[in-house]
A and B are shown apart, each in its own frame.
Chain A
Amino acid sequence: MGSKWAGGLLIGALCVASTAHAENSGKPTLDSVSKQVMCMCGGCVAPLNQCPHLDCGTKAEMKAFIQKEISEGKSETLILQDLTQRYGVGVLTAPPAKGFNLAVWILPGVGLMIGLAGVVVIVRRWRGQPSARAAPAAPPMDPKVLAAVEEEMKSARLG
């Protein structure tokens, strides 16, 4: 029972951590916005901050646009909205969680849960069914190793 609690607590902590983890929500910077939008030149297919093309005119234009919006004091959300209006929803590195695009966010979680249900079903079936064959007999153990194992177990019990 104790082990189940410990395992549950650890997994619970991980799940809480995953949901509690939030992006840095300070003032927008060129880098923080560039990470969230794609370079729209059509050639590099990379986020704006990762575009490998040194002479990319679109990259320079987009960065200038973002810089202008930052200097106007706009929030990150507003800048992203303006970019979406200008270039379409494809400019965002991840689609907004609404309408059909909600599916991209929901299905991995659904998949995870279906998988878990599958594991539970398998475990129940395995636990319910009788063994199809007797467990194979263990090979004879080296007496020296056996003695050492017994000594280990004894010391573990004493300890």
Chain B
Amino acid sequence: MNQVGSVGLIAALAFAAFAVVAGAVGGRFRSLRVTRSAEHATLGFFAMITLAVVALEYMILTNDFHNAYVAEHSNRDLLTYYKVAALWAGQEGSLLFWTWLLSIYGALVVWLNRRKNRQLMPYVVSVLMGTGAFFSLLVFFVANPFQELTLATPAGQQAFAPPDGNGLNPLLQYHPMVIHPPMLYLGYVGMVVPFAFAMAALITRQLGDNWIRTTRRWTMVPWMLLGCGILLGGNWAYAVLGWGGYWGWDPVENASLLPWLSGTAFLHSVMIQEKRGMMKVWNVVLVILTFFLSIFGTFLTRSGIVSSVHAFAQSGIGPFFAVFIAIILVFSLSLLFLRLDHLKSENKLDSMVSRESGFLFNNWILLALVFAVFWGTLFPVISKAVQNVTVTVGAPFFNKVAIPMGLLLLLLTGAGPLLAWRKTSFQSLKRNFTLPLIVALVAGVALLVEGVRDLYAWMTFFLSAFVAVCVLGEFWKGARTRMRTAGENFAQAIYNLTMRNTRRYGGYVVHLGIVLLFIGFAGQAFKAETKGLVQEGDLLRVKNYLLRCEALTTGDSPNYEYTRALFSVTKNGRAFASMHPERRFYKASQQPTSYVAIHPTLSEDLYVVLAGMDPDTGKGIVQVFVNPLVMWVWIGGVVTLLGTLLALVPSRVEREMAELRSAQELAVEANDGF
């Protein structure tokens, strides 16, 4: 199987190299035949990388410990779905997985554009496969997962297979971990598609509306998946690391946030180009930046240049990535510079109080946040290089910098959509903002009366009320008009309103999701915690919860041994829950980990960790947290996901326009002989 995988990799590399050249030649000489061959090579690349992935998965699932990667990252008693996930548990496998996802995106782009964007496609294929070639090279020559384990014997190196593997890192043995990395990677990798379209548009000088319309959709999908990946990662940290939180501003977490933030900026500023023909250069810059940050994120995770609690796979691939990033930046920025004349703004700004300026301010804050997070993440490396002192830049720095900026963004989330294009009159401002401000003020006063004194939390709730009323007001106003004009009932009116402009109302749902996320974040200000040593019959109290240790038991499963504490919990004197946190010791990797018991409710989570056993007393070391509003982080994430999906559904008008455009494009290209 190692040979099969290696053949797959080398064939994929050949396909990618051919597609890069054929795409460029097909585009330069406007040859449909050559372009088609490049597209077929992209499909071939997908097939060959799939072959390599299947070969590795087969070896993992059949416990073929002749393979060094399988021996290092799997073991016999590992559950099947964790075995599948072992594909991306280590450096070599995760790079292969990255390349496979890229090949899937490549195949999808070729398939979905077989009848459209024909002038752009040769170069799109070239750029996609250029990236594919880089990753195939890396996987084949630098981080090859198809290495045989060998043993030095007097007769020379001999193939060797240990009786069992080292197993998967225990911290990765958690259900959402099976989908968290694929989501995150789909997000990172997907950003190559908008980059490819942007480069193709610059090369062909086709810098009208078409590339931007295509790119917006191809950005929304990875943006959504990256967001899901980030949230699932937060969920993993919350449930597995056992410190009671879900976001620690770790470098790897930051690396995933950066392209998401710049992607968010692009998804907003792209609307100005579509509606008003402005910010053309800026949009190309944002696409380049987002792709750069995606590659940078992969580099940061994989190279080990910064230390991270999430760095499960590191090696000396840093210099290769540095060269690749340099090539991307030089190529794309040079191309942008050469095409500046084609990217002039078509309109002027009519007023400072307008949708355009709202988007401009949104981009300003988002990019300032990108810079702050990027700078804070890299500062330890810079400090080491400049003053030869290792410093840490952690949560205190990022919280101080990011929270105020986040609050400004939250404000714009509500105010921006209510501003009119071109110019917003004072009357319109008064009409749109009076009710949200009144509701927010009432909520603010109520919170003060209730004893909320944390300033950031108070501001978050105040702004959340403001934004929620702004956004829900838009639904209400639209539905009321439909109810009057079309005689629909409220539910019909909301449905038809949304489906007629899925993009606009999907965007509003996303904004509501963001509000819920912020409400969840604000809950951190009211966290409570206690610690104690317990044995059977001992009590622990935190806020209005009383936990009684009913038993401390030990047990064994094929994969791990465990100590389990059983707690009966009462809240305000009434029976509330039964919780059983565990401390596990994984046999294959010889590593301990904790299995946190969480009882989630809409208002707060009760979170119990069995951190270990006290060697002196033999009692269990238990930490209990009360984490308010955490559930709203996950709900907010789901609402944001649903809103994005809704915005991706083409509205009826959009579908008709797309069909018309496609027919026109085909006619033009037929005339061109392309």
A: residues with CB less than 8 A from B are: 1-4, 6-7, 10-11, 13-15, 17-18, 20-21, 31, 35-36, 38, 44-47, 49-55, 88-95, 99-101, 103-105, 107-108, 111-112, 115-116, 118-119, 122-123, 126-133, 135, 144-145, 147-149, 151-152, 156
Q: Is B346 an interface residue when CB atoms closer than 8 A count as contact?
A: yes
Determine which of A7, A18, A129, A156 lies in contact with B345 in the assembled complex, contact meaning CB atoms within 8 Å.
A129
Determine which of A17, A47, A118 lies in contact with B455 in the assembled complex, contact meaning CB atoms within 8 Å.
A17
Separation in Å of the A120 CB from the closest CB of chain B?
A: 10
Q: Is B334 an interface residue when CB atoms closer than 8 A count as contact?
A: no
B: residues with CB less than 8 A from A are: 171, 240-243, 245, 248, 250, 277-278, 307-309, 311, 344-350, 352-353, 357, 360-361, 364, 367-368, 371-372, 375-376, 379, 383, 386-387, 389-397, 401, 403-405, 407-408, 411, 415, 424, 426-427, 429-431, 433, 455-456, 459, 481, 484-486, 529, 583, 592-594, 611-612
Query: DSSP class of B's interface residues: helix, strand, loop or mixed?
Result: helix
Separation in Å of the A5 CB from the closest CB of chain B?
A: 11
Would B375 and A94 count as touching, CB distance under 8 A?
Answer: no
Determine which of A88, A101, A115 lies in contact with B367 in the assembled complex, contact meaning CB atoms within 8 Å.
A115
Would B344 and A132 count as touching, CB distance under 8 A?
Answer: yes
Would B407 and A14 count as touching, CB distance under 8 A?
Answer: yes
Enumerate chain A residues within 8 angstroms of B241, measured Cβ to Cβ: 46, 50, 52
CB nearest neighbor in B for A104: B379
Would A50 and B376 count as touching, CB distance under 8 A?
Answer: no
Would B347 and A148 count as touching, CB distance under 8 A?
Answer: no
Would B391 and A89 count as touching, CB distance under 8 A?
Answer: yes
Enumerate chain A residues within 8 angstroms of B307, measured Cβ to Cβ: 45
CB nearest neighbor in B for A147: B485
Enumerate chain A residues within 8 angstroms of B352, measured Cβ to Cβ: 4, 123
Enumerate chain B residues within 8 angstroms of A108, measured Cβ to Cβ: 368, 371-372, 375-376, 401
Distance of A26 Cα from B191 Cα, bound (Å):
47
- By Cβ-Cβ distance, the 5 closest A-B pairs, closest first, are A18-B404, A93-B394, A108-B372, A50-B243, A126-B349
A104-B379, A119-B360 known; A46 vs B392 contact (CB < 8 Å): no
A21-B456, A89-B391 known; A3 vs B353 contact (CB < 8 Å): yes
CB nearest neighbor in A for B351: A127
Determine which of B311, B389, B411, B485 lies in contact with A14 in the assembled complex, contact meaning CB atoms within 8 Å.
B411
Would A119 and B364 count as touching, CB distance under 8 A?
Answer: yes
Query: DSSP class of A's interface residues: helix, strand, loop or mixed?
Result: helix
Determine which of B248, B346, B375, B594 lies in contact with A111 in the assembled complex, contact meaning CB atoms within 8 Å.
B375
Separation in Å of the B644 CB from the closest CB of chain A?
A: 26
Separation in Å of the A35 CB from the closest CB of chain B?
A: 8
Would A127 and B349 count as touching, CB distance under 8 A?
Answer: yes
Separation in Å of the B474 CB from the closest CB of chain A?
A: 14
Determine which of B347, B361, B404 lies in contact with A119 in the assembled complex, contact meaning CB atoms within 8 Å.
B361
CB nearest neighbor in B for A122: B360
Determine which of A47, A103, A105, A129 lies in contact with B395 in the assembled complex, contact meaning CB atoms within 8 Å.
A47
Would A126 and B376 count as touching, CB distance under 8 A?
Answer: no
Enumerate chain A residues within 8 angstroms of B411, measured Cβ to Cβ: 10-11, 14
CB nearest neighbor in A for B308: A45
Would A20 and B455 count as touching, CB distance under 8 A?
Answer: yes
Enumerate chain B residues within 8 angstroms of A149, measured Cβ to Cβ: 481
